[in-house]
Chains A and B, each alone.
Chain A
Amino acid sequence: MAYSEKVIDHYENPRNVGSFDKTDPQVATGMVGAPACGDVMKLQLKINEQGIIEDAKFKTYGCGSAIASSSLVTEWVKGKSIDEAAAIKNTEIVEELALPPVKIHCSILAEDAIKAAIEDYRAKHPG
């Protein structure tokens, strides 16, 4: 299967790989996995007091499309509010990376990782 140029670019030069201290109250962690392929994705967001995402990091064990999808969302969420980030849809990832139908689950994984991270943030900061 041929990967699009954008997937190859993110795969070869992934943006924002790494981890933040997950005990830091500013840090929200989202962990998700795709049973269909066994891919595992960790997305961490650093969120300031105004609720703006200042920084993001990811670690993904998976195929090129899964790595590219997570790399892309770390770029997209930076500077966004929590609500704006929560509104990111997997279809936008599919479109940007030109993912084929068999790789749509990689974009779903990335969307769910953002949602899981935001849920973690809201659990850490109730109200």
Chain B
Amino acid sequence: MNYFELFGLEAEFSLDLNELSSAYQALQKTVHPDRFAHSSSQEQLLSVQKSAEINDAFNLLKQPITRGEYILKLRGTELASEQQTLQDVDFLMEQMELHEMLGDIKHASDVDAALFAAQETLDVQSQHLWQQFEQLLTDDNQQNNHKAAELLRKLKFYKKLQIELERIEDALFDD
């Protein structure tokens, strides 16, 4: 049983997070330790293992990057543990410039405006990639899946930028 089936959901990228959340809570109730208080230790152990599996599934499906990776994996395109480097020069140049933009925020005359503009830039660019990604997944074929995997690799760089932006924001508010 795959993680989507576990929650009774279609294996689609655009899932309803509220629906996922409800399914998660309902499922966790069925394996809650209180229900197994009078069961054998074997059954108690199984319920703990099941509960851990439900947690793993929920955490994986709620994040778009890991959810996307999982769908591609179900389709036979594995990308989670790869160590291969990305060498798309134009894309990497843009990434360098985005990192420089983030680095300049603390020197801006209007820091709030700079933070806002940086968030806007990251959002617009990553949403553009997500749209292409979703479009590619609508047709399950090898060529599309490979292209989708390539987009997901790029989206991981945007995730890194987002974490960096949040770190900068936290540091500014601490002062």
- Which residues of chain A from 24 to 73 have a CB within 8 Å of any chain B CB? 31-40, 42, 59, 61
Give which listed residue, B83, B87, B157, B158, contacts A108 with CB less than 8 A.
B83
A38 in contact with B161 (CB, 8 Å)? yes
B160 in contact with A37 (CB, 8 Å)? yes
Q: Is B29 an interface residue (CB 8 A)?
A: no
Q: Is A116 an interface residue (CB 8 A)?
A: yes
Interface residues on A, range: 10 to 19
B96 in contact with A38 (CB, 8 Å)? no
A32 in contact with B86 (CB, 8 Å)? yes
> What's the nearest-Cβ distance from chain A to residue B100, in Å?
9
| Candidate in B86, B88, B93 with the most chain A CB atoms within 10 angstroms | B86
Count contacts on B: residues with CB < 8 A to the other chain: 23
Give which listed residue, A35, A42, A105, contacts B157 with CB less than 8 A.
A35
- Which residues of chain B from 58 to 97 have a CB within 8 Å of any chain A CB? 79, 82-89, 91-93, 95-96
Q: Is B99 an interface residue (CB 8 A)?
A: yes
Bound complex: CA A61 to CA B85 (Å): 15
Bound complex: CA A40 to CA B156 (Å): 12
Indicate whether A112 sits within 8 Å of B92 (C-beta atoms), given known contacts A36-B156, A38-B156, A38-B157.
Answer: no
Q: Mark B137-175, 1 if CB is under 8 A from A, else 0.
A: 000000000000000011011111100000000000000
Binding site for B on A (CB under 8 A): 31-40, 42, 59, 61, 104-105, 108-109, 112, 116
A-B contact pairs, 13 of them (CB 8 A): A31-B89, A32-B85, A32-B87, A33-B86, A33-B92, A36-B82, A36-B83, A37-B156, A38-B158, A39-B160, A40-B95, A61-B99, A105-B83
